[in-house]
Amino acid sequence: MIGHLQRNKVNQVIDKAVLIHSVDSLRLAQQIESDAARKGLDVDILLEVNVAREESKYGFLMEEVEEAVMTIKDFPHVHIKGLMTIAPFVENPEENREIFKKLFDFAVDIGSKNIDNVTMDVLSMGMTGDYEVAIEEGATMVRVGTGIFGAR
């Protein structure tokens, strides 16, 4: 599941998605836990991080992520598999290199803490316009819908 997920839609998604890319708040993670427990499911998630601090984007700020991880790690039905970010739309993909590098370094730091129920196996960053730079900076997953399907 890629894209903003509203809490009232969680119940419709959790038994269909293999990985929810866009967990952007503790309240959303709590809703996923509640609905997953009720359905007897385990749900893999990525925490969405607003590295660039864009007001138009969702996600945890960098300084909020570790506290969220330490809360969500105790949820028995929700498993953090990594991080995701949406970098700013820029003409020159090189402008986003620092954002991708910052998230990669942060994921390595969290991963090195060996927190139960948390892995940093997935780093979803980079889109059609900047995926090559994202891969160079450690992305394990890119989102290239516009490159495949064209602009909306």
Q: How confident is the model over 31-88, as pLDDT tens digits?
A: 999 999 999 999 999 999 999 898 888 999 999 999 999 999 999 999 999 999 999 9
Sign of CA dihedral 39, 44, 50, 54: negative
- CA 62 to mean position of chain CA atoms: 12
- Alpha carbon distance, N-terminus to C-terminus of the chain: 18
Residue 53 CA to residue 44 CA, distance in Å, equals 25
Q: Which two tokens stand for residue 109?
A: 């730091």
Q: Is the pLDDT of residue 1 over 70?
A: no
Q: What is the pTM of this model?
A: 0.91
Q: Could you tell me whether strands 118-127 and 141-143 are parallel, antiparallel, or unpaired per DSSP bridges?
A: parallel
Q: Is the pLDDT of residue 4 over 60?
A: yes
Q: Is the pLDDT of residue 19 over 60?
A: yes
Within 8 A by CB and 6+ apart from 94, the residues are: 133
Structural contact between residues 103 and 49, judged by C-beta atoms closer than 8 angstroms = yes
Domains of the chain: 7-149 (3.20.20.10)
Q: What is the pLDDT of residue 128?
A: 83
